[in-house]
Structures are given as C-alpha cells and as structure tokens.
Structure 1
Amino acid sequence: MIHWSMAVIYAFAHDHTNATDDELTIQYLGLRLFNSVASSVKLGLSGYYQSAFAHVRDIFETVALLDYLHTNPSQIAQWKASDKKQRIAQFGPGAIRNALNTRDQFSGNKRKEMYDHLSEYLSHATAPGFQLLAPEGLGKIGPFLSEKYLKAWLEEAVKFLVHGATIFMGHFPNVEPPLLLEKADFLDRANRWRDKYMNVGNPKQPNPGVQPTPASGRG
C-alpha cells in the first residue's frame, strides 16, 4: 500500500495538467508528501528508524493540511499567500487539528496525542527517544536491524499515507482518463486493505487520521 500510495500521488502531482493555481499549490504539497515518504522509506529500510519516524510526523502534518484544505478549498490561496504569523495562527498544526476534530465531531484530541508522541520520541532531541537509537545500550554507532521497529514504522507510515493519498486525489475533480483508472485501482486496493487491517467499527473513534470510507474522496 505504501508503493501504490506513492504511485498515485506521483501520478496526480506529475502527470495531471493543473487547471488552476489552487491545483498547482496542492500538487506542490503532493510533491512534499511524496518526498517525505520516499525519505522515510529509504531511512527505515536502512535501519535508521528514528529518522524514518521523524518523516512520518511530516507526513502526518502534511496530510492534515491537505485534509483541511479539501474541506475548505477557498482557503488554499489564503494559505499560500499567508505570512509566517498568519500561517501559524490560522494554519499551524494545532489550528488544523482543532478544525478537523470539530468537522469530524471527534471526542478527545487523538490527533494531538499522535502529534505530540511523534514529536517527543522522534523529531525532538529527548531522552525517551534514545531507545530508537540504541535499544540495547550504546552498542555501535549507526543503523541497526530491528524487526520490531521496522514493523512499527511500517504500520504508522502506511495508515497516514493511504489516508493522505486518498485526500490528495480528492482535490482534483477533473483529471485525464488514465488518472481516473489509476484512482479507481488505488481506491479498490485501499478499500480491501482497510477491510483487512483497519478497525472501522466505531466511526466516532477511528484510527487516528483514517476515515471510515477511503472511497469517499475525503479519506
């Protein structure tokens, strides 16, 4: 699913001829998402798990922004033109999370918990993060192989990425016929993956970042 998500993100970002400046802006966000995933994959498969997870936080944040802009397309141009102060106040991670929680009628703040966890253990220099560098003591400097950490990284990356790819495609209502076929194929794979691996029994408390129906266009 990571492979297919990357493929469809690349196709819509690279092969689609954008019709508006807003679509071009979203394509740039798609390129950022693709590059973050590619970097995470390279690092994760090389045994640099903490660095791979750090890119998962970027994926999480970019997908949340894409999700918000999909619900509020009139704000795409405003986001692009905003200065630093405006961007932090109106489109910062906290503001985006709160808007999405209100839209989805989520109880609690699972999105913030996920973001804080990724920040504490992965993106920031903290003592708890040492376990991802040397789980059995200092050992040797550099990468190491761990089935446990590899599995954990893959599980986190794939759920955010499938959700993100679905949202990303939803930003483009009119695309070329070959892209329609790619979209249909991806959504079929995403639905089968969701039915097999994701808990969707309680739509009020889904897995963080994953909506009940990928084929809906919003994720």
Structure 2
Amino acid sequence: MFDIPRNMKLLHQGEEELHERSVALIASHRDLSDHLALVERAMDVLDVLRQHHQANDDERTVSHLAIRCFNHFAGSWKLTASGYYQAAALLLRDVVETTYLINAFHIDPTHIAMWRTADRKTKKALFAPAAVRKRLDADMGVARSRREQIYATFSSLAGHPSVEGFAMLRPMGMDAHNGPFLDPTALRALLKELGKLAAQTGHAFCAFLDLSKPAAAQVAHRFIALAMDYSGLYLGHSYTDEERSEVDRLYSEITET
C-alpha cells in the first residue's frame, strides 16, 4: 500500500490546527460570525438553483454558474480558515466575475444562450470581464462604477503575480511566510469580503429563483431577511421596520398562493 508523504501529512495537520484556531476566533467576534452567516444563506440560494433550475439549457447554464460560485465560496472559506489568504482571495475574484455575468444575464436573458454558444472571438468581445462591466454600468446610467476597481483589487492582490500581492503572504509585522498562517487582520479582511460578496451574489442569483416553488421561496426569504440586517450593520444602508415587514408580507403571500 502506498502512503502520503510525511510532509504532506504534517502540512494538513497544521492546516487543521489553524482551522480550529480560526473558528475559535470567529466564535468570539460577532462581526466575523455575521459575515459567515450571510455566506451560508447565499450558498443556500445557490444550492436551490441546482435543485430546481434545470428545465432547459438556459436554466442549466445559470444553475451551473451557481454551482461554480457555491464551490468557490466553500473553497474560499476553507482556505481562509486554514490560513491561505491569498488563495482564498483568488477564488473570490472568480465569484466577482461570475456575479457580474449573472447580473448581465438578468438584464438581457437572451445573452444566456448567446454566451453558451458563442465562439472564442464573440465571447471575448461581448462577455470578457471588462465588456460585462461596461454593459452593467451603462444599464445603471453611469460612465464607470466601482466594479472595475473591485475587480482590479482582487486581480492585483491575488489574481496576478504582483508586488502588491506579497502583502498577503506575510503575517502582520513579519516577513513572507511559506505555507499557511493565522493573522487576525487578514482573517477579518477576508471574511468581510466574503460577506460583502455573498450579499451581491445571493441577490444576483435570487433573481432567477422560481418563487412558486416553496423551497425556493423559503430560501430566498431567509437570505433577503438576513441580507437586510447585514446591510444595516456592515454596508451602510439600513432598512426600516416597515420595509422589513413589507418583505415578510410579500413572501408570506407568495407561500400561500
């Protein structure tokens, strides 16, 4: 019988120890726990699409992109908790790109089939990240939004080899570290980005849910309710009790029909 190399076992052991320490740190800070809670709710939305959004090729396309985001959220959480912060951020850049694409599909659903069947030249012209961002900005009526800055930041810190990215390889006040490490500042930063992105991704994919299905309506309601709380606490936009009650009423009507 063949065995796993000793150093690979030791590396995994170290990762698991860091995971336990990260979980303990999260459990002692409400904000860290809140970020992770919204990620879970967004992943529930993505999973419902996998289960109930399969009627045709367009629905399966959206469902498969939801699976991609689900796996990247799961992978980014695993890497964050295990001390691989740059690798975790790399996965989040892909979620950013996929979320923008899904937003573009919602604006014009005919683009789903176009994207799915496009040749390389057409995909580059119409669906490259920059082209998608430009289309979303135009729909908002702005020349340039923060989308480009967000994507560029993830690219610089994690997506491409760069001097700026070296900062994610070292614990605070120390030199670059080979392998995983626990840094509370980096942990908080990654969880914050996970939470903010979960809010965007959850909303983007919620737009494709068939709310006539009880499971989809329930998951959407749970996500929206927590996202409203999260927005007031961490995104600078609070919702009134009346607005929250209206959301609850609408979802109650949906489940009763």
Does TM, normalized by the shorter one, top 0.5?
yes
| Contact map agreement 2:210 2:217 (CA 8 A) in 1 | no
Q: Which amino acid aligns with 2:118?
A: S
Query: What CA distance in whole angstroms lies between the structure 2 residues aligned with 1:5 and 1:159?
Result: 11
Q: Who is 1:120 aligned against?
A: 156
User: Following the alignment from structure 2 to structure 1, what is the Cα–Cα distance between the partners of residues 168 and 144?
Assistant: 28
Tell me, yes or no, if the aligned pair for 1:9 and 1:165 is still in contact at 8 Å. Answer: yes
The whole-number CA distance in structure 2 between the counterparts of 1:131 and 1:144 is 13
Residues 71 and 4 of structure 1, relative CA distance in 2, 3 Å threshold: same
| Alignment correspondent of 2:133 | 97
1:60 and 1:160 in contact (8 A); partners too: yes
Is 2:195 aligned against 1:158?
yes
State the TM-score, normalizing by the size of structure 2.
0.73
Report the CA distance between 1:174 and its aligned residue.
5.1
Q: Secondary structure at the match of 1:18?
A: coil
Provide TM-score, normalisation by structure 1.
0.85
Task: State the 4+ residue runs in structure 1 displaced beyond 6 angstroms.
Answer: none
Helix, strand or coil for the counterpart of 2:229?
helix
The residue correspondences of 1:1-219 to structure 2 (distance < 5 A) are 1-13=38-50, 15-135=51-171, 136-138=173-175, 140-173=177-210, 175-200=212-237
Q: Deviations over 1:164-199 (max 9, x none)?
A: 112112113455212211211221111121122212
Q: Over residues 63-84 of structure 1, what are the superposed CA-to-partner deviations in whole Å (9 max), with x where a residue is unaligned?
A: 0000110111011000000112
Which whole-Å CA distance do the structure 2 matches of 1:197 and 1:113 have between them? 19
Considering only aligned residues, what root-mean-square deviation do their CA atoms show, in Å? 1.8
Q: 1:199 to 1:17 in 2, by over 3 A?
A: closer
- Alpha-carbon deviation of 1:107? 5.0
Work out whether residues 134 and 144 of structure 2, in 8 Å CA contact, stay in contact via their aligned partners in 1. no
Larger C-alpha radius of gyration, 1 or 2? 2
CA distance in 2, matches of 1:88, 1:17: 27
Q: How far is the alpha carbon of 1:158 from its aligned partner?
A: 1.4
Where does the alignment leave 5 or more consecutive residues of structure 1 unmatched?
202-214
- Structure 2: which amino acid aligns with 1:55? L
Aligned length: 201
Q: Which has the higher contact order (CA 8 A, sep 6+)?
A: 1
Percent sequence identity is 31
Structure 1 residue 109 displacement after superposition: 3.6
